[in-house]
């Protein structure tokens, strides 16, 4: 159970770190609205992902999973938003809080098998935020050479392999949660 949870949180931390680096590198090319879009996108998706995960892990303690996921989502949105503008930081903060609340409720209500599917979807959407840094800025670049096409395809393939391996870890996570839930029912009939 711990391995999959660590996989998800390390992946989310890597998305925040890489997004921070990309935001700093492309600060001059990004408009204030682009920064706001990215901070809201990341705050919401990281809040949702961590909320579903924590809601499933801490099943029965909605308060703890909600508070933790709200903090994680709010921190992610604020960190990325701060690099753009104060308005983007506020939007990222509020989106992260909202995503954390919704994710925790979903994680609490769904079966662990269904939560795993949602976690994988939200993790994929969160990592896809990294492509926004290439799509949103106003640039005149075009794919004139084959090498410009190879790099995004290679990154996409590596991302798919990484997310698929995490999904395989999720199967063990589901088994551990089922055993934990079964043991709780035996001790508290």
Q: What is the pLDDT of residues 3-44, one digit of tens each?
A: 888 999 999 999 999 999 988 888 888 777 888 998 999 999
The per-residue pLDDT for 62 is 94
The per-residue pLDDT for 100 is 95
The per-residue pLDDT for 32 is 79
Q: Concatenated DSSP letters for 137-159?
A: S-------SHHHHHHHHHHHHHH
The per-residue pLDDT for 94 is 96
Q: What is the pLDDT of residues 65-117, one digit of tens each?
A: 999 999 999 999 999 999 888 999 999 999 999 999 999 999 999 998 889 88
Residue 139: pLDDT over 70: no
The per-residue pLDDT for 73 is 95
**Strand (E) or helix (H) holding 97:** helix 86-109
The dihedral region occupied by 168, where left means phi > 0, alpha psi between -120 and 50, and beta the remainder, is: alpha
The number of CA neighbours under 13 Å toward the Cβ of 181 is 14
Q: How far apart, in whole angstroms, are the C-alpha atoms of residue 58 and residue 67? A: 12
The per-residue pLDDT for 170 is 82
- 142: pLDDT confidence band, cut at 50, 70 and 90? very low
Single pTM value for the model: 0.81
Q: How far apart, in whole angstroms, are the C-alpha atoms of residue 105 and residue 52? A: 7
Residue 140: pLDDT over 70: no
- 181: pLDDT confidence band, cut at 50, 70 and 90? confident
Q: Concatenated DSSP letters for 1-20?
A: -HHHHHHHHHHHHHHHHHHH
The per-residue pLDDT for 66 is 96
- Cα 165 to Cα 25, 96, 128, 141, distances in angstroms: 30, 27, 17, 33
The pair of structure tokens assigned to 146 is 């084959």
């Amino acid at each position: 159970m711990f391995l999959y949870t660590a996989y998800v949180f390390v992946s989310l931390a890597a998305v925040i770190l890489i997004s921070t680096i990309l935001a700093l590198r492309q600060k001059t090319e990004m408009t204030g609205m682009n920064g706001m879009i990215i901070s809201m996108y990341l705050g919401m998706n990281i809040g949702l992902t961590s909320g579903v995960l924590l809601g499933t892990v801490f099943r029965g303690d909605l308060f703890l999973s909600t508070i933790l996921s709200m903090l994680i989502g709010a921190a992610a949105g604020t960190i990325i938003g701060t690099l753009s503008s104060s308005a983007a930081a506020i939007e990222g903060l509020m989106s992260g809080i909202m995503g954390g609340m919704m994710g925790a409720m979903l994680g609490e209500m769904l079966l662990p098998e269904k939560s795993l599917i949602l976690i994988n979807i939200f993790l994929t959407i969160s990592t896809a935020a990294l492509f926004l840094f290439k799509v949103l800025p106003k640039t005149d670049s075009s794919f004139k050479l084959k090498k410009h096409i190879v790099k995004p395809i290679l990154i996409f393939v590596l991302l798919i392999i990484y997310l698929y391996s995490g999904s395989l870890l999720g199967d063990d996570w589901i088994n551990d949660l089922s055993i934990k839930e079964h043991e709780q029912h035996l001790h508290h009939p």
